[in-house]
Structure 1
């Protein structure tokens, strides 16, 4: 109906009998048909992956984030460029990891002690691109003191929480690392690598961008060590200032309190 309506509209200065070019209507028909075809093909591939997982990996759990979760299957298909074999391999690894790590058992209570350090939190508001925001305060991360396993649990819990805040039609979250006050005792190559591994292997295409805010010179050597390990994910990183955060990512009403004057 929308296509038909658009085709009947005429510019007020043109005669009402002004013909619609055949090529334009053919293009519109092709676009609609192509969209339907893509949707049908995606559905077939989702079912193919689902059946393959049931046939070859029946021990994997069912339900949300399990081997029969069609939304999760489609998400991994997109990441693997709709290769069934590659999707099954990566999805199997992710589902096994979720079970071994105990992702579904994580809760506010279980990460409470580490959350109270204030080293990370989920922002109450979305950014200007409607992305949930995961904030990390690097100066409060103390690897010599904090249990690395508990750090990882907090990280995964907040990733899950951020994803639960995705508006309809949105797929990515924004990560912000506040590097003001960063010192050598805050450096943690192991955890930074873990963080990006989590997004690459288990939450692909969910991290839209990572902002490193006000990075001091002492942080640069750590970044140079980490960057090669991240491969293509390093392109998601942007070094920026607090002023950039204010002007490009939030409104005055939604700006995180830590970046307010």
Structure 2
């Protein structure tokens, strides 16, 4: 089997199902959150001016049907808390620079060794995000955290219809270099506060006994539900994921000069296409990610249909 050096395309997922229709209390909760953010007069609290308090197009698109539901569930169906958490994330995304500062050019120095990369999909269609701490190449600092968030955002770009979570693989082989407790705490806080219900499974391989102490230190910082998704030294196949170290079907090798520009272009194109489809569907708060992604899938299928020319009688 030939070695692969570039990301795999987003799978079509023809058998995935749309999100179920809401009824009863669940619908009332959702409608209240939607009405709050869809209000034409809505202004984001704590912003310096009326102009900056208005939601940007990227933020309205981010406030999808599924996004609102993720926060409602994360808030244990407390509507007021869900609204507060969403607003906290909206402000954090601006402050962190998700839409302007956090670029591929900024974080590329962190990516050159392949210490963190995206490749393939597991049997549930979740994109695979790999971390290889032994390939750490930079001093600990803000850019390392920015890189983690950038890759997470790209994983979300590459989720197909009906997929809202990712598969995180951490390989501690080859004398992995550990992050400090401070960095681990910062990353965990970002993930738990601003990316609720995005982790599908976390597979941790080749964990030496010395690192168990490290995990014991950070375990109290991890949400109990997240802890249930952590699997140590897994022994099962992972479909279209990396073969070496993980038992997947893909012979992948990280070559930065080949991989990086393809990943960046693929994600930029997908974000542009999703924004175009979102506008086509109305361009408002509460549009379903499912409808956007299925719209793109169907559009691509139509483009790939062979052209049939009818014979005309002379």
- TM-score normalised by structure 1 residue count: 0.73
Matches within 5 A, 1:215-230: 215-230=207-222
Q: Is contact 1:50-1:70 (8 Å) kept?
A: no
1:213 to 175, 193, 205: 205
Aligned position for 1:102: 97
Equivalent position to 1:37, from 2, 5, 23: 23
TM-superposed CA distance for 1:42, in Å, is: 5.3
Distance 1:88 1:147 in 2: 34
CA distance, structure 2, for counterparts of residue 66 and residue 188 of structure 1: 36
1:132 is the counterpart of 2:132: no
* Paired position in structure 1 for 2:59: 65
Aligned residues: 217
Aligned counterpart, 1:256: 242
Following TM superposition, where does structure 1 have runs of at least 4 consecutive aligned residues deviating by more than 4 angstroms? none
Q: Report the secondary structure of 2:125's partner residue.
A: coil
> Per residue, is there more helix in 1 or in 2?
1
Q: Judging changes above 3 Å, is the alpha-carbon distance between structure 1 residues 56 and 199 closer, same or farther for their aligned structure 2 residues?
A: closer
Give yes or no for contact 2:133–2:172 (8 Å, CA) kept in 1: yes
SS in 2 for 1:186: coil
Query: For the Cα contact (< 8 Å) 1:50–1:68, is it kept in 2?
Result: no
Q: CA RMSD in A?
A: 2.7
Report the Cα distance in structure 2 between the residues aligned to 1:98 and 1:177, rounded to whole angstroms.
Answer: 25
Where does structure 1 lack aligned partners over 5 or more consecutive residues?
Answer: 1-33
Between the aligned partners of 2:30 and 2:83, the Cα distance in structure 1 is 15
Match of 1:112 in 2: 108
State the shift of 1:45 in Å: 2.4
Maintained 8 Å contact 1:50/1:67: no
Match of 2:180 in 1: 188
Structure with higher RCO (Cα < 8 A, 6+ apart): 2
- Which runs of structure 2 are paired with 1:49-64 in the superposition (5 Å)? 49-50=36-37, 54=42, 57=45, 59=53, 61-64=55-58
In the other structure, the counterpart of 1:154 is: 147
* Structure 1 residue 230 displacement after superposition: 1.1
- Secondary structure of the 2:174 match is coil
Long gaps (5+) in structure 2:
1-19, 252-314
1:109 alignment partner, SS class: helix
Residues 44, 55 of structure 2: 8 Å contact kept: no
